Amino acid sequence: MMEDIVRKIEEANEEAVRRILAGDPLWEDIRPAREVVPGMAENTILHAGPPIRWERMAGPMRGAIMAALMFEGRAQSPDEAVRLASGGEIRFSPCHEHRTVGAMAGVISPSMPVFVVRNASFGNLAYCGWRDLAQASGCFDELTIKNMRWLRDVGMPTLAAAVRKRGRLELKPLWARALTMGDELHNRVSAGTSLFARAMAPHLVRAVPDTSAVAEVLEYLADFDLAIVPLTMAGCKSVMDAAHGVEASTVVTAIARNGVEVGIRVSGLGDQWFVGPAQPVKGTYHPGFTEADGCPDLGDSAIIETAGFGGCAIAAAPTHVTVADEPGSASAYTREMYEITLAKNSSYPIPTLGFQGIPTGIDVRKVVETGILPIVDTPVAHKEPGRVRGVIGFGMSRPPMECFVKALTAFGDQYLP
Amino acid sequence: MRKHERAAPHPGKEPLRVVNVGLEWFHRSLLSQGAKTVHVAWRPPAGGDPKIANLLDRLSGRTTKE
């Protein structure tokens, strides 16, 4: 009997990993969330991480929601936004439960445009909101709202016209190339964003007659190193969603943080969240800030690590090790991740590790057995909303072991006789 | 007799060569004193929780192989 379940798990994990390795994300479009995100009603606001009520939300998430309500014209002031958010009229829901991911606070309201990515191998779609660092980290001042409106009215429609003109953008070769150029694809993305700009520039010019809009978008791509991150997040979400729902698989298909709790989802355990307390981020803080100022672990961007990039592939980003806890630790982090994963994805070789593929398919059993937790490299928001425009540092974080022990226990309850 | 003495190094006479298992602090402490050490990052499975370790055994097939 016991051998049966072990065989079943091994076969299920092989299938889940096969799906991850076969993932082929294509960026196809940008559309307003209300038009494409499943379950997005006019009173819906999506957020990062596992479910959480307004009363328990972290500062940056509250600030980002206040910005969203003012941006949507539903509130005229921060105070009015707080009254509306706390009044019960708004339905808050995790991005992940809508085939969507959101950076940092991950707040997405109905009129915000989202990147639309199709996993060509399996046909499933995934979405990610834009990345405005100020709003995503909880700013809600006039400049933030103005920048959000520029993204909605100029930036995103211009990019949308370009990608429609191009037909689609294949993310797989772009990611692979960026990895060989010193990116890990989460926070060291200079190569990826440059390749993205290069791929889109001619189509921007051909698709959009308004040259000032084209110039503004090219400036945005030139000035904002992290511009490609939401596209990568949507791509990784499309890959991991295809691996979700494999009966008896112990592969982790999502790691998501809301600033209070971290939640994981497991392929063979349906849509349950397994949560534990979000941890402070160890890292490099901007002058004048320390770990004590930082909001604990925040954002859906850990979907990038779940797919094997980011912290898991940080050996590929030797220039990014300054945010790690000691020099030379980047390779050690990635080597450690091979201990808790089931495969190496040869589509994405890491030059500094002899071109081994990125660690792929985090196995809940291996995490609990070894005590090695997935490593995430992540930006940090100030814990008080609106206090700082943008992030206050970057660092390394790990989801709590509690998530994995809870998942393993639930797995035993569901699958063992 | 001489061969036997060499096989059992005497602290203080021969440099220590240490394989440290588990707590990394011992490894670092020896390193700081100039000793040659190799650290093995070992932790008890499931953090030493017997209930979870048993569950892991059942889900990994280790018990069935015994």
Residue B64, SS3 per DSSP: helix
Instruction: Specify the pLDDT at position B65.
Output: 37
CB atoms < 10 A from the CB of A336, how many?
18
**Per-residue pLDDT reduced to its tens digit, A104-123:** 999 999 999 999 999 999 99
pLDDT at A142 over 80: yes
| Among B residues 17-56, those touching chain A with beta carbons less than 8 Å apart | 43, 45-47, 49, 52, 55-56
Closest CA to A126 of A239, A270, A271: A239
Cβ-based neighbours of A123, under 8 Å, separated by 6 or more: none
Structure tokens at B66: 């015994």
Instruction: Specify the pLDDT at position A270.
Output: 97
| B62 in reach of chain A (CB within 8 A) | no
Closest CA to A137 of A167, A161, A102, A170: A102
pTM over the 0.90 mark? yes
> Closest Cα of chain B to A371: distance in Å?
6
Closest CA to A54 of A350, A385, A303: A385
Pairing mode, if any, of strands A282-285 and A298-299? unpaired
Tell me which long-range contacts B15-18 makes (C-beta under 8 A, separation of at least 24). none
Residue A287, SS3 per DSSP: coil
Element (DSSP H or E) covering residue A331: helix A329-338
Element (DSSP H or E) covering residue A125: strand A125-129
Instruction: Specify the pLDDT at position B48.
Output: 87
How far apart are the C-alpha atoms of A167 and A318, rounded to whole Å?
A: 34
Residues of chain B in contact with residue A416, where contact means CB-CB under 8 angstroms, are 55, 58-59
Closest CA to A225 of A183, A278, A267: A183
Of A2, A9, A401, the CB nearest to B64: A2
Residue A285, SS3 per DSSP: strand
Of A9, A370, A371, the CB nearest to B59: A9
Tracing tokens 């060989």 back to the chain, one arrives at A180
Residues of chain B in contact with residue A368, where contact means CB-CB under 8 angstroms, are 45-47, 52, 56
Instruction: Specify the pLDDT at position A358.
Output: 98
- Quickly list H helices, A137-189: 142-150, 156-166, 171-180
- Quickly list H helices, A102-225: 133-136, 142-150, 156-166, 171-180, 190-207, 211-223
Instruction: Specify the pLDDT at position A3.
Output: 75
How far apart are the C-alpha atoms of A239 and A128, rounded to whole Å?
A: 13
Each of the 66 residues of chain B gets a pLDDT tens digit; together they read 444 455 555 566 777 788 998 888 888 888 888 888 988 878 787 888 999 999 999 999 875 433
Residue B17, SS3 per DSSP: strand
pLDDT at A256 over 80: yes
Q: From the candidates A6, A338, A406, A414, which should be mutated to test the interface with B, based on the most B CB atoms within 10 A?
A: A6
Instruction: Specify the pLDDT at position B7.
Output: 52
Q: At CB < 8 Å, which residues of chain A contact B? A: 2-3, 5-6, 9, 250, 365, 368-371, 401, 405, 408-409, 411-412, 415-416
Of A49-58, A306-315, B41-50, where does mean pLDDT reach its minimum?
B41-50
Of A6-20, A63-77, B43-57, where does mean pLDDT reach its minimum?
B43-57
Q: What Å distances lie between residue A260 and A59, A149, A294, CA to CA?
A: 10, 29, 12
Tracing tokens 């926070």 back to the chain, one arrives at A187
How far apart are the C-alpha atoms of A224 and A222, rounded to whole Å?
A: 6
- Check: CB of residue A362 under 8 Å from CB of residue A249: no
Instruction: Specify the pLDDT at position B63.
Output: 59
Residue B34, SS3 per DSSP: coil
> Closest Cα of chain A to B17: distance in Å?
23
Instruction: Specify the pLDDT at position A321.
Output: 64
